Every structure is written in C-alpha cells, then in structure tokens.
A and B are shown apart, each in its own frame.
Chain A
Amino acid sequence: MPTAKAAKTPAKAAPAADAYKKLGAAKLLKIHELMVRARLLEERLIKMSKGGDGFFWIGGPGEEAFNVPLGLQVKKGSGVDCDFLHLHYRSAAIVLAMGAQPIDSLRQMRSVGTDPYSKGRNFVNHYAIPELNVVPVSPTIETQYATAIGTGIAQARAKTDAITVVNGGDAGTAEGDFHSCLVWANRPVLPLPILIIVVNNGWGISTAAATQHGEKNIADWAKVFPDMPGKTINGNDVAESWSALEEAFAYIRKNRKPYLLEVKASRLYGHSSSSGANRIPEADCIALLEESLVKRGLAKVSDFKAVWEREAAALDAAHKQVKSEPFPELETVWQDVFADGLPPSYPTKGGS
C-alpha cells in the first residue's frame, strides 16, 4: 500500500519492461481487444458523422490505453457499494470495458428511438447507465467534477470500499468546478473517496494548454492538500496506466481520501467533427501496445489482425441493424420531463 507521501512522487519514466510480463498475455490481449473495439467504434462514429448518418461527433480515440484499464478496474454495478463514474465525452473505451455495447453508441449517434442513453436527445458518447453507476454525461465542460462531490459524500458515509471516479480534460481545469471538487474532496470533516482524473491532451478545442496554463503539471494542484496524492502519468502506455490506476484505486478504497491523477494522452482525431475529425500524427497507443506485445513475444501480428477483423465485422452488423431502427416518435419529447408525468394542463403547443 503506497502512502500518501510515496504516491506524491511523480512517475519518472515508463515502468520497467517486465510490467507487461507481469500483467500477462491473457489480460493484455483482453485489453487490446477492448482498445480495438473502442477505436473502431470511434472511427465508425466519425464516418457516420461525415456521411450524414448522424451529426456532431466527439469522442476519445487516443485515450484507450488509459480508459480500458480504468473501465476494467472499476467495481461495477449500481448503488453506493459500487463505483460511480462522472464521465465526459471521451469515455467510450471506459464504458465498453465495463460491458456497454457498441451498438448503443451507434444508436445515439444516429439519434434513433432505441438510443438507450438519451432516447435520441443527446450527442453521441453522452451516456446514462444506472446499472453501471455511469451518471448522465453532460456537454457542459467540468460540471461532472461538481456532481462527483455528491456521490463521493454518499460513499464517504456508507460502509463500503466503493469510490467515485471523475474524468475530464486539461482545459476544463480552469473552471471553478474542478477546484470545487478539490476543495470538497479535501474537507477535513469529511474527505471524499474520489479518483479525480484529468486527461491532458495539451489542448482545449484549438487553444494550446501551454498558452493558458502556468501550472507545471495539473497534478501539482494536489500539493496544497496534504492527504491527496497527485501523479502525472503517460496514458499512452497500457502497463503504466494499469499500475497507476491500481495504486490510485487501492489508496482511495482503503484510505477513503481523494487522489489526483493527470494522464498525458493523444488526441488522435482532433477535438471533434467541428474541427474535421481527421487523423493527427500523434502517438497511437494501440500501435504501441501491439509493438510491446510482439517485442516481448506475448502475441503475434496475426493475432491482432484477427481481432481487428472480428471487431470490424461485429460493428458492420450492428450498424446495419441500427440503420433499420426508427427515429423517435414526436410525442416522446413529453416523456421524462417530470418523473411523475406531465401535468394535464402543461402547455405543449409551443405558443398560441
């Protein structure tokens, strides 16, 4: 069990080569498969956006090496005894690793009536999965860091080892909600078991982080809170991500205190469809993983090929299915306005 002090030392270099061997071929291949599933899904979503089979796309290609290990280490389920997740729009690999199905993301992209996350109301990659404690993802940058406080309080009160996980981007940390989360998670009267993740891809939409942020590392915000470890890691490396997450989860589960984890990762298709969603020449974590596995003799190139083909075929079938599904009925806009139904005299004409 790392102590708060030990954990405060930032990782210096990528873990030793045997970190991969320690994880073992079976687990690494499982991770690889999920990373490929997430990547192909995002690329399909981009294609749908460009091809008129949906509208705006925003997602997380480039973050799979961190997000898949995160999804696999979550204590899955619903209620305070399981981990809560307050995610943002680059989290597909997390929810897929937790068992969400790619077809449901295609449904949300096409905004068909079968979209289980929002009934055709919200952008793609905006989940709401109560069975997995994935609370509604909102397009509002950083508000998830404020709502994380609430599930964190519920879990701090409960007799449980479950924790709250929140993620978002680097630019958003300028918002007050990020600092709300830091302050509330470190209240001396009730510290909160929250894994506070910031994925640092170096960009807002088009604004370079270096032009707006004088912090050396975002994780340095942890330095003012004596009981909150802070760490910066290379999120393009599966083994480093896995072990950093293991350490952070273990610390929070046991100590019931927060942990700030900054994850350096690639943004492989730019910000979103609004910036073109074209491939950017940054480090590709899947290629890096495949290289590491082959180099260590843990897998062969042909193994990977089979995975890519299998996942692509499954996605083709899912896409075909979604194309046959109807768009939402107009009256459904009146569903879910209130939990107890629409009052009979609620105005529904939109004017006179």
Chain B
Amino acid sequence: MANMAQAIRMALHYGEQNLGVTEIFGEDVGAPLGGVFTATQGLDKAWNAPLDERGIIGAALGLAWAGGRPVAEIQFVDYIFNAIDMLKLAANGHWASGGRYKTPLVVMTPTGSGIHGSMYHSHSFDSIASKLHGMKVVCPSTPLDAYGLMIAAIKSDDPVLFLKPKALLRSKGEELIPGEPADEKLLHGMIDAPLGDRTKWKAMWPKLTDYTVEIGKAKITHPGDDATVVTHGRMAPICLDVARRFAAEGKGSVEVLDLRSLIPYDWEAIKASVKKTGRVVFVNEETEITNFAEHLIRRLVDECFYELKVRPRLLAGKATPGIALSPNLEYFIQPQAKDVERVISESLADPA
C-alpha cells in the first residue's frame, strides 16, 4: 500500500501528465530532495523556489491568471501565516473581479501535530483557512482520499488549500490507488528516490488512472446509530479506531464522519447523521479558541435543535500559544485516542 506522501506524489504525476499541471514548486520541492516529506520526488515539473512564502503564493496566483494550473507548496503550515494576504487575494480574486478572473491553483502544506514538531512544526490552520472565503479547503486522512482530492483540487477552477496531515504522510491506507502495484516494495523501488546520489535517478511511474474525490463530500468511515463523530485529518483514523473498538466491546455504535473537505463542508451529511443519532462530538486538533467546529455546532443548534438528544461536544487542542515539545506536554495539549474515547463515552452517557 502506498503511504500518503506517495499517493500525493502519484496524483501530482497524474496531474502533470494529464491535467495540465506545468509548475509544482516550493521550498526544497524539486530535486534532489523532492519535498521535506518526499511528496514531490521524481516529478518532471517540480522545482525549487526561493525561501519566500509570499513570493510562492504570488507566483502561483500569477501563473493561474496566465492560464496555468500551478501547484505550490508551503513547506509547513506553520510558515503560511506571512502569506495570508496572498492567500486572501487568491481566495477573493474571482469575486473581486466580478467573476472575470478564475484562480485555478493548489496550495499544499503539511499541517498539524504528531511528529514531535514543537512550536513551529505542529500548527493547525483550519479555522483561519475557513475564513479565506472563496478558497476551498481539503484535508484527507487516507492515501486514497489524498490521491482523489489532489486530482479534484487540480481540476478545480477555484483555489484549493490542500492540508496534508503531517502525522499521516507516512501512514498507509486500506485501499489501493487505481494503478498502484499491490506489491509495496515494487512501488518503493519505482517511485521513491534512492538515498545518496540521485542525479541519475528517474522515477518509474505505475500506470495511474483518474480518480476524483469530489470536493465538499464527507465520508462515513464507520456507520453507527448511537452517536456521531465529525472529524478530519490526523484525528480521523484515531476516531475510526475508537469507533471500531467501541463496537467490538459493545460500548456503543458510533458513526464516524470524515469531513475530507472543510470548505465547502458537507452540511447535508453532518445533518443527516446527527438527525439519526441525536448525539454528536466534533474532534479536531486545532485550538478551541476559536475552532472551526464551533461554527458547525452553532449551525446544528440552529437547524437541528430538536433532533439533538444531548448537548453537542467539541474535543480540540488546548489554547496554548504553541504546542510543546516534551511528549507529556504535547499529548496533554493535543487530543489523543484516550481523550476521544472519554468524550464519546461522555456523550453516550449524557442523559437525553
């Protein structure tokens, strides 16, 4: 099985071969490194940009206006903050120009905690991203979704912020990517750059095919009747695991909804699940002041007040100025599996 970094790489290769992607760039994105998480190794159109986040997004915007479909990378989402102005321009350009300029660009960036990244390699950006109105925001939790969402992002005529959960980039999925060889070692030999001298290395790509995960569509990763968990990114596999355990241990039937897209979010899917279960827990790793899920909770209160059996809950990161390095501190600040278990149990136990 491909890991998520390989899946993104394969989607980008599919994009440069078939979807008109002519520029894939960012800090250390080109040879020899191919990205700090290897997501751009071996790509024909990948190149190294100056160490300049504003310039990178500005370049992507100009390329989009010139008719291209660029994919730009911000090396870590922790370093995207100085480019917010440029992201706003990408997001509002279509509206500001009265619909005359489309901005088909993708900005991808590793997000979130879970790799002992301390203060500047652990940030989440969800709620800020959700305020760049006009920008679509996606965040996969499996390699196959990463592949399908990247292809959808490239095809989109809107700017798409593609959040790559750092902690999941090396994780493998349960499904093959269309065209991926079943033998993991074979894939590794084909598309992973060798250690040492890479000057003569060229990737050997499997014959990949089109596979699109529609932007704005969530996925039920575990059906259930007693409570709904709405999550995405790094927390999605943790929630799935907890739901499976709850089912196996007879602790409750928990439905897990992996949002996959934050903007636009799949409101119909959230509503349908909550109407069915009457109990809902939102789980993400962004700090609780102020959290993207708070908007979803407000909307649920507005639109599904009488279907909610108990109060909606939020499990989020603690609102510290950063995420601390020491593991006991990081695990305290950021939600962990045991916290997910606790909050779901509490929601299930809330008297209706």
Contact = CB atoms under 8 A, between A and B. Distances in A.
A86 B97 CA distance: 14
Given A130-B100, A136-B96, A143-B85, A148 B52 contact: no
Nearest to B270: A345
Contacts of A150: 58-66, 68, 70
Contacts of B59: 146-147, 149-150, 153, 184
28 contacts: A116-B100, A121-B95, A128-B96, A130-B100, A135-B62, A136-B97, A143-B89, A146-B55, A146-B62, A147-B61, A147-B65, A150-B58, A150-B60, A150-B62, A150-B66, A153-B23, A153-B62, A154-B68, A180-B52, A180-B54, A180-B58, A184-B50, A189-B47, A336-B98, A338-B136, A339-B156, A340-B156, A343-B216
Interface residues of B, number: 49
A138 B86 CA distance: 11
Given A176-B52, A339-B157, 18 more contacts: A84-B62, A117-B100, A118-B97, A128-B97, A136-B89, A146-B55, A147-B65, A150-B66, A164-B62, A183-B55, A189-B47, A338-B94, A338-B136, A338-B264, A340-B157, A343-B264, A345-B267, A352-B302
A177 interface: yes
Interface of B: 22-23, 47, 49-50, 52, 54-55, 57-68, 70, 85-86, 89, 93-104, 133-134, 136, 156-158, 216, 264, 267-268, 298-299, 302
A154 B54 CA distance: 18
Contacts of A121: 95-96, 98
A152 B62 contact: yes
A146 B82 CA distance: 13
Interface of A: 79-80, 84, 86, 115-119, 121-122, 126, 128-130, 135-136, 138, 140, 143, 145-155, 157, 164, 176-177, 180-181, 183-184, 187, 189, 335-340, 343, 345-347, 352
Q: Which 3 A-B pairs have the closest CB atoms?
A: A150-B62, A146-B58, A128-B97
Contact of B63 (A118, A151, A181): A151
A130 B67 CA distance: 11
B99 to A, nearest CB: 4
A80 B66 contact: yes
Contacts of A128: 96-98, 100-101
A82 B271 CA distance: 49
B113 to A, nearest CB: 28
Nearest to A146: B58
A150 B103 CA distance: 12
Contact of A149 (B62, B67, B97, B158): B62
Contact of A176 (B47, B54, B66): B54
Contacts of B104: 339
